[in-house]
Amino acid sequence: MRSVISCLWSKPERASDIDAAFPSAVEQRVRGLIVQADPFLLTQRDQLVGLAARYRLPAVYYLSDFAVAGGLMSYGTSLRDALRLVGNYTGRILKGEKPSDLPVQQSVKVELVVNLKAAKALGLEAPTSILLRADELIE
């Protein structure tokens, strides 16, 4: 029995690809999901969160937006920190600096968000060690 899969499909192109993946996951006795970073999957956030809840599959997402929308948990780059860096770059460019002179930067802050309401709906109890490490708990 497979306990966790990282991707149910090679590269979903349509919402219907995602709809078809969940019954297949249940049939394969998948017990959890890891949703990887993908612009298309971000646009399908509500669909993914809803299907994971409907099929009672615990899922870990790459952005806190998924946990805020009702997903179980997220662990990934802080979007707020990444946008702060973009704002700093924009300000420097508007003040006259050449973009080619600016150093390459990327957000290094990661955050763990746990949705306790989603955990309860799935019949799960988050370990205390996870709760203590979480940057945000959604009740």
pLDDT of residue 91: 96
Asked whether the beta carbons of 32 and 20 are under 8 A apart, the reply is no
Predicted pLDDT at 6: 41
Average pLDDT value for residue range 17-46? 87
* pLDDT in the model for residue 2: 41
Distance CA 77, CA 42 (A): 14
Q: Letter for the amino acid at 23?
A: P
* Residue 128 burial class via C-beta count within 10 angstroms: exposed 0-12, middle 13-18, buried 19 and up: exposed
pTM beyond cutoff 0.85: no
List the domains of the chain with CATH numbers.
15-78+109-138 (3.40.50.2300)
Radius of gyration of the CA atoms of the chain, in A: 18
3: confidence class by pLDDT, cuts 50, 70, 90: very low
pLDDT digits (tens, 9 = 90+) for 102-138: 999 888 899 999 999 999 999 999 999 999 999 999 9
Question: Is pLDDT at 82 greater than 60 in this prediction?
Answer: yes
Q: Does the structure show a pLDDT above 60 at 1?
A: no
Q: Among 9, 13, 32, which Cα is nearest to 21's?
A: 9
Among the residue ranges 7-16, 23-32, 117-126, the one predicted with the least confidence is 7-16
